[in-house]
Chains A and B, each alone.
Chain A
Amino acid sequence: MSAARATMGAALQQRPWVWSFMGAAVLWLATLAVAGPEAAFNIGLSAFSFGALMVLVGLGQMLVVTTGPGNIDLSIPSTIALAGALGLRTMGGEDGGILLGLLVTLGVGVGIGLANYLLIRLLQIPPIIATMSSSFILQSLAIHVGQGLKITPPQLLASFATGWLLHLPQLAWLVLAVALGLAWILGRTLFGRFLSAVGQNARAAWLAGIGVERIRCLCYVLCAVFAALCALLIAGFSGGASLDMGNEYLLMSVAVVVIGGTSVTGGRPSVAGIWGAALFLYFTNTLLNVVGLSAGERSVLSGLIIIAVIVCSGRRRQYR
């Protein structure tokens, strides 16, 4: 009996992401019990749209967190604000401008990622301070570019972001593809192995001849690029780019990484867990909504749930 439990415990510890999917399933079943099958089914589908956006940002944050203890990107909300504003202004609401706008957005992402990395490297400051400082400047730039207006997306972008394919939102397919690609890269390629090595012990990785700084740089750039890409999708999905559309994504990105079982001390990413955690968080919010709680009460409860989940995962870490 205890041996069986021990093997199961070991199996779960190998795959910490299972917890997030179990949590998501329990919450969906609770929604089913409260709201009935039809509503629960619709909530399940819309979770893939909203969840996809969270996952995209979360994947970027996961890469940054995996590069080692103390690594985190606080500039995600302002990256979303600036990239969205610049991208949509370049598009000018015309379908013909989408390609150029996409390039501009990706360029903004690469630029912000490089700037973040250079601040950390050159000023030798903790990533939190570096990305916070840069987010201050990005915020001002975003206000300047966006001018406080909601910039409408081109028709094609809006219909892509809200469209469906094979019974699932197109957003979900896109992000699923990105996630699968990233999972393959992390699990099967040299870059993935190197990233884990850097995150677990940067000095050992350096002594083994791994280009530690190059990998860190790439992770920060990818994180900003994912956030920038997400900005376009949010704008397309919600009918326009606004300054505050990225605000909730800071907590979300960190929460999905931690709840998804990615190690906060670095070196152990979990792509699947990001999906599980995003669904878990979305179902939490909708369940509280279905039960009839106000925005304030929802906020209090989801905060408490996030803290509770983190405390539980902390206890698990001690047993290792």
Chain B
Amino acid sequence: MTTLARTPVRARHGLLSRHEIQTLLLPMATLAVVLAPIFWINPNTMSYFGLGLLLNLAVPMILASMAQLCIIAVNDLDLSIGAFISLVSCIAVTWLPERPLLGVAALIACVLLYAAIGALVELFDLPSIVVTLGLSFVWGGWALILLPMPGGATPQWIQDVMNLAIPVVPTPIVYAVLIALCGHWFLMRSSLGVRLRGAGGNPKAIVRSGGSVVRAKALMYGLAGVLGILSALTLVGITTSADANIAQRYTLISIAAVILGGGSFIGGKVSPIGATLGAITLGIAASFLSFLNIAPKWQIGLQGAILIIVLSMRILLSARGERQ
């Protein structure tokens, strides 16, 4: 269980502590196992363009996973993030180019609403799953009102950010590393991040040290809203248009990515770097199948299988660790 005192100060070697590196071994191995056959079958994928194409859609998925990670860190679960990202995508291709002020105001309102839901969940001791399931209908309905038919046009500046050609290292990798490091620094290193995680790991300790769990949850939910917005903006930057269900599948994929990355439901134990690796792994599962000539209908099944295999490995490894 991650508590306030758990951040190992002495064992820290530069960027990551030994414990953090151990947590990351399994997600890294999983990514390697999925990547290796792709590189083996088609070595061209190892090039600048190949990697860029392979990881093209990874950035919005990583941001969605980060949003989910914020919620899981405070012991809750967000079943509405996919619908939320769909809604913001619709706002981004309708209001944002036509009426920028209204668009920005709507996005700010979304973040505040998210934060309010976080406070509500804590204040009334509500099951987050049920509340966010209801919330998903609110986001989904609003998206449908905004954009009944697929369409719209993404503002040019968003497309430019996503099409930016960074030399030497493929752009999606640069973005992924940036997101992972920012997330790691904020949640695992900054004192605010540690306090916020404490709201999931040991709420009593937070209250006794004069903090407020309600405020922490509101902040984390609000942060999830901000990350969800970033995810939607990067998504429409790639797709250039949107529809009301564009990101529905992100809900479950983001949970899976956090869990794959070493996150656990109990005690606010999360790893931003691990979640990034998890999101990339799940994202390239589709390419993995197409390189192996397997029908895309097995994509989601493969994602489930990866999850089950990794969780089994975790059990096996921890059982061995206990025996030693």
Encode A299-315 as 1/0 by CB contact (under 8 A) with B.
Answer: 11111101100110011
A151 at the interface (CB under 8 A from B): no
A297 at the B interface (CB under 8 A): yes
Write out the residue numbers on chain A whose beta carbons fall within 8 Å of the beta carbon of B136.
Answer: 251, 303
B298 contacts A140, C-beta separation under 8 Å: yes
For A302, give the chain B residue with the smallest CB separation.
Answer: B137
Beta-carbon contacts under 8 Å, B105-155 to A: 120, 124-127, 129-131, 133-146, 148
* Interface bits B296-311 vs A (CB < 8 Å: 1, else 0): 0111111111011001
Question: How far, in Å, is B313 (CB) from chain A's closest CB?
Answer: 10
A299 with B140, Cβ < 8 A, contacts A133-B304, A136-B301 known: yes
> What is the minimal beta-carbon distance from A205 to any residue of chain B, in angstroms?
21
B233 interfacial contact with A, CB 8 Å:
no
Question: Within 8 Å of chain A (Cβ to Cβ): is B190?
Answer: no
Which residue in chain B gives the minimum CB-CB distance to A251? Answer: B133
B256 within 8 A of A: yes
Which residue of A137, A141, A295, A311 contacts B124 across the interface (Cβ within 8 Å)?
A311
Known: A119-B308, A133-B311, A296-B141. A255 touches B133 (CB 8 A): yes
Contact between chains at A307 and B131 (CB < 8 Å): yes
Within the assembled complex, what's the spacing in Å between the Cα atoms of A72 and B127? 11
Is the CB–CB distance between A141 and B301 below 8 Å? yes
A136 contacts B312, CB within 8 Å? Answer: no
Q: Is A139 an interface residue (CB 8 A)?
A: yes
Known contacts A123-B308, A264-B127, A307-B131; decide if A251 and B137 are in contact (CB<8 Å).
Answer: yes
State the CA gap A132–B300 with chains docked (Å): 11
> Which residues of chain B have C-beta atoms less than 8 A from A128's C-beta?
77, 129, 255, 265
Interface residues of A in 155-195 (CB under 8 A from B): none
Interface residues on chain B, number (Cβ under 8 Å): 45
Smallest beta-carbon distance A115→chain B, Å: 10
**Are B266 and A296 in contact, with the CB atoms below 8 A?**
no
B259 within 8 A of A: yes
User: Which residue of chain A is the closest to B138 with respect to CB atoms?
Assistant: A303
A310 to B311, CA, bound (A): 33
A298 within 8 A of B: yes
In the complex, A203 Cα to B46 Cα: how many Å? 53
Question: Given A140-B300, A140-B304: A254 and B133 within 8 A (CB)?
Answer: yes
Q: How far is the CA of A254 from the CA of B303 in the complex (A)?
A: 25
Of residues A123, A133, A144, which shows the largest number of chain B Cβ atoms within 10 Å of its Cβ? A133
Residues of B within 8 A of A129 (CB): 255, 259, 265, 307, 311
Q: Flag whether A143 is at the interface (Cβ < 8 A).
A: yes
Interface residues of A in 190-222 (CB under 8 A from B): none
Contact check, A298 vs B141: say whether CB atoms are below 8 A apart: yes
Residue of A nearest to B252 (CB): A132
Q: Are B125 and A299 in contact (CB-based, < 8 A)?
A: no
Q: Which residue of A lies closest to B311 (CB)?
A: A123
* CA distance in complex: A314, B318 (Å): 38
Neighbour of B311 across the interface among A125, A144, A298, CB < 8 A: A125
Say if the beta carbon of B192 comes within 8 Å of chain A.
no
Q: Within 8 Å CB of B308, what residues of A?
A: 119, 123, 133-134, 137
Cβ contacts under 8 Å, A122 to chain B: 312, 315
- Report which of B145, B265, B299 forms a contact with A126, defined as CB distance below 8 A: B265
Contacts of A303 in B (CB 8 A): 134-141
B302 proximity list for chain A (CB < 8 A)? 140
Select from chain B the residue with minimum beta-carbon distance to A317. Answer: B125
A301 to B145, CA, bound (A): 12
Inter-chain CA distance A136–B300, complex, in Å, is 5
- What residues of A have a CB within 8 angstroms of the CB of B145 in the complex? 294, 296-297, 300
> Which residues of chain B have C-beta atoms less than 8 A from A135's C-beta?
252, 304
Distance between Cα atoms of A247 and B143 in the complex (Å)? 18
Binding site for A on B (CB under 8 A): 77, 120, 124-127, 129-131, 133-146, 148, 244, 252, 255-256, 259, 265-266, 297-305, 307-308, 311-312, 315
For the A-B complex with A310-B134, A318-B124 known, give 10 more contacts whose Cβ atoms are closer than 8 Å: A123-B308, A132-B256, A140-B299, A140-B304, A255-B133, A299-B144, A303-B138, A304-B134, A304-B138, A311-B124
Chain A contact residues, CB within 8 Å of chain B: 70, 72, 119, 122-126, 128-129, 132-137, 139-141, 143-144, 250-251, 254-255, 258, 264, 294-304, 306-307, 310-311, 314-315, 317-318
